[in-house]
């Protein structure tokens, strides 16, 4: 858990309200705060977002720290452009400022291992990858899936495996989406600049090829707004991260998880050719060795997203052939 450098109270309030009230459709707990739970198997008990500090005991990894560029070691910090979307990847606590989640815990743990201070700025998801090349930020976080398109301009250091999944309203006749042509004629809600938007755009013509009405892609920039669209009937299906979808359906009434569509490795994002990648990779692998890695996954209920070892810009995991 860590406290971000806010990009503005107004935006913070808007995003937090979307996540807690609209996006998750949460029930109120004692004291009036929104009730949330760690992502896990469907039917997990309701409770507060976990705030256990599982990275406090991380010690400096001298071997990993030696891999840092001299200028980074000298300044003793790195700048993070972070997208705050939905749990368990990232979310705000009820104070509307404190960022928690898988991304925040791994950022804090790697920083401790490298002996650095992370300085976070909240940035819109679709703006982070283009901004890395400017040099303003050293690293980006936002559950960024590793794709071949992104690898041409971005370096990644992987830390979990997540991917693409679907959800819909409980009264929908849909049971699972194994072929994107099952979406023909439907309205699909996605976040802007995501692999979900890209996947749907790349396959949009398949419906017409089969003589069917194309699906409509509804793109939302604000975190969690796609859940509001689903609940209000403005969209028929949500396509989002597997862990995010599994989490959200435990929080909302009248919403059901459909299925995983595909898996993707997820990593810290850097400008191409960054000298930081070897140090971050060594730090993540060190966290696996000392047990911190597994503690973070258990805290957020995403043990199924564990990877054997961190890699630098591995090939994209192939999409389903359908």
Does the structure show a pLDDT above 50 at 26?
Answer: no
Phi/psi-derived region of residue 232, left when phi > 0, alpha when psi is between -120 and 50, beta in every other case: alpha
14 pLDDT higher than 80:
no
pLDDT at 92 over 70: yes
246: helix, strand or coil: helix
Whole-prediction pTM: 0.82
pLDDT above 50: residue 236: yes
Torsional class of 30: left (φ above 0), alpha (ψ -120 to 50), beta (otherwise): beta
- Where residue 138 falls among pLDDT bands split at 50, 70, 90? very high
Q: Average pLDDT of 214-222?
A: 93
Nearest-angstrom CA–CA distance, 170 and 179:
20
DSSP β-ladder status, 154-169 and 237-241: antiparallel
Weakest mean pLDDT among 45-59, 108-122, 188-202, 302-316: 45-59
Q: What is the mean pLDDT of residues 103-123?
A: 97
CA distance 67 to 70: 9
Q: Are 132 and 154 in contact (CB under 8 A)?
A: yes
Between 172 and 3, the more confident residue is 172
């Amino acid at each position: 858990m860590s406290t971000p450098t806010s990009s503005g109270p107004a935006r913070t309030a808007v995003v937090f309200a979307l996540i807690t009230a609209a996006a998750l459709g949460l029930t109120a707990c004692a004291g009036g705060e929104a009730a949330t739970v760690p992502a896990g198997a469907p039917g997990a008990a309701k409770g507060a977002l976990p705030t256990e500090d599982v990275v406090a005991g991380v010690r400096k990894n001298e071997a990993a720290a030696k891999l840092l560029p001299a200028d980074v070691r000298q300044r003793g910090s790195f700048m993070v452009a972070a997208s705050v979307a939905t749990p368990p990847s990232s979310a705000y606590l009820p104070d509307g400022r404190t960022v928690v989640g898988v991304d925040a815990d791994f950022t804090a743990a790697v920083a401790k291992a490298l002996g650095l201070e992370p300085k976070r700025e909240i940035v819109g998801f679709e703006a982070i990858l283009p901004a890395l090349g400017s040099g303003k930020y050293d690293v980006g976080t936002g559950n960024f899936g590793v794709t071949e398109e992104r690898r041409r301009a971005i370096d990644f250091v992987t830390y979990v495996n997540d991917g693409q999944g679907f959800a819909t309203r409980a009264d929908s006749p849909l049971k699972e989406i194994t072929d994107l042509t099952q979406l023909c004629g439907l309205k699909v809600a996605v976040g802007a600049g995501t692999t979900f938007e890209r996947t749907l755009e790349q396959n949009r013509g398949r419906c017409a090829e089969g003589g069917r009405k194309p699906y409509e892609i509804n793109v939302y920039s604000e975190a969690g707004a796609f859940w509001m669209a689903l609940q209000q009937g403005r969209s028929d299906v949500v396509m989002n991260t597997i862990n995010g979808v599994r989490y959200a359906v435990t929080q909302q009434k009248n919403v059901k998880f459909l299925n995983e569509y595909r898996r993707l490795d997820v990593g810290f994002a850097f400008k191409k050719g960054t000298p930081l990648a070897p140090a971050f990779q060594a730090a993540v692998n060190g966290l696996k060795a000392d047990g911190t890695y597994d503690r973070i996954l258990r805290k957020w209920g995403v043990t199924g997203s564990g990877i054997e070892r961190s890699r630098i810009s591995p090939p994209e995991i192939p999409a389903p052939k359908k």
